[in-house]
Amino acid sequence: MTDPQTSSATGFEQGSFEKTCTYCGAHFQVDIARRSGENTAQSFACPECGRTYEVRAAQAPQVRLVSPRSDGKNDGYQETMF
């Protein structure tokens, strides 16, 4: 994760990290905002296949595609329940 920056006006600590989707290989950046005592599990999805991930943050993460999927498919991810 990049070095967090805190806004004194809002009290949010801003940060970001890059992730490669484990399903389709797409590479994306996730921007998050954290605030002491207010962080909960927040979901975000791969912008190419929709596979969901979680991060602890105070607000919903923002996701930006860096490079498209690399698996040669065009399907969406489907959660399986076993």
User: Looking at residue 65, what is its pLDDT?
Assistant: 98
Tens-digit pLDDT profile for residues 21-56: 999 999 999 999 999 999 999 999 999 999 999 999
Burial of 7 (0-12, 13-18, 19+ CB in 10 A): exposed
**CA atoms within 13 A of residue 66's CA, in its CB half-sphere:** 14
Tens-digit pLDDT profile for residues 7-17: 556 789 999 99
